[in-house]
Amino acid sequence: MNGREPWHGLGEVSESEPVAAGRYRRLVLQAPTVARLALPGQFVHVLCPAGAGAGAGLRRADPPGRPFLRRPFSISEADPASGSVTLLFRVKGAGTASLAAVRPGEVLDIVGPLGGGPFPGAGGRPAVVVGGGIGVAPLPFLVETLLGGPGPADGPAHAPGGSGAGSDAGAAAASVRVLAGVAEGRDLDLLEPLQRFEGRAEVRLATEDGAPGTVKGPVTALLGEALERAGEEAVVYACGPRAMLAAVRRLAVAAGVEAWLSVEERMACGVGACRGCAVKVKGDPPYRLVCRDGPVFQAAVLDLEEGEEP
């Protein structure tokens, strides 16, 4: 209706590479319409091929009748010029194992971009971007946009207020600080797409096991200092485990700055029809949908109680 309806079709896989010894995977899809429409924070819904070597070498063959539903994946990078969309995901179950087995030249059935609430623009303010674990997936696209890099020419209004990053001249940030962490140093490869912004942005890494070149501890341990230096005008963006998001919110509230959190929930349709991916929010109605209203929400509206500190 408004020219921004999601696209449904086949995208050819042009690259597939293991990340961190195959515990994660990076896939590049050729999907020009998705690449053109995508906003940071949005996702694609991917049909997992059954049986295509899924689970090979893991434990056993596919469980019967699975994977059944599509799997939502954050758009990690989108390049309208080449028409490519990059996904970065953890190889965890039957669905992601089957996707990891797809080879360049094969096609995937995808719907996207989806997500009525992308990351909003920074409006010229200093940005602090926080990612934990596989939650770093959507951040390269966000950081690129905050740095004024290639992005879509237009965008929809963000559902809960503000406008999507890349939606106007105000998308870019005055400065960008990236804080990214993984639990174990052996997964540091996951942060490589963010390390590439070194020079254009300040990038700091954390690992729980104190791997060389990183700060030992949770990534949120770096946030207090970053917020201090970014100043009261700062806007925080975060994606990661619930406990990390809860910590980000607490620190942002304490610093009195705006924060936007990308959350996930089990999802069936991805377009708002099934009402499956509800997250609890403050206010009435008490739930909002990750696919239709998010996946990015203003920290102040989210009710993260169940996910507070582990």
Interacting residues with other proteins (CB under 8 A): 1, 5-6, 8, 10, 47-51, 63-70, 107, 109, 111, 265-280, 284-287, 292
Q: Minimum distance from CB of 107 to other proteins (Å)?
A: 7
Which of 99/222 has CB closer to other proteins? Answer: 99
Provide the minimum distance between the beta carbon of 130 and other proteins in the complex, in angstroms, as a whole number. 23
Toward other proteins, which CB reaches closer, 229 or 266? 266
Do residues 178 and 12 lie in contact, with contact meaning Cβ atoms separated by under 8 Å?
A: no
In the complex, least distance from residue 125 CB atom to other proteins, rounded to whole angstroms: 32
Q: Cα–Cα distance between 63 and 98 in angstroms, integer? A: 12
Burial class (CB in 10 A: 0-12, 13-18, 19+), 137: buried
Rounded to whole angstroms, the Cα distance separating 6 from 84 reads 16
Residue with smaller CB distance to other proteins, 112 or 152: 112
Q: Least distance (Å) from other proteins to the CB of residue 45?
A: 9
In the complex with other proteins, which residue's Cβ is closer, 22 or 286?
Answer: 286
Min. distance of Cβ 289 from other proteins in angstroms?
Answer: 9
Letter string b/e over residues 30-59, b meaning 16 or more CB atoms within 10 A of that residue's CB: bbbbbbbbbbbbbbbbbbbbeebebbeeee
Name every residue whose Cβ is closer than 8 Å to that of residue 199 and which is 6 or more positions away in sequence. Answer: none
Nearer to other proteins, 114 or 173 (CB): 114
Closest by CA to 8, choosing from 108, 110, 87, is: 110
User: What are the structure tokens assigned to 95, written together?
Assistant: 């669905």
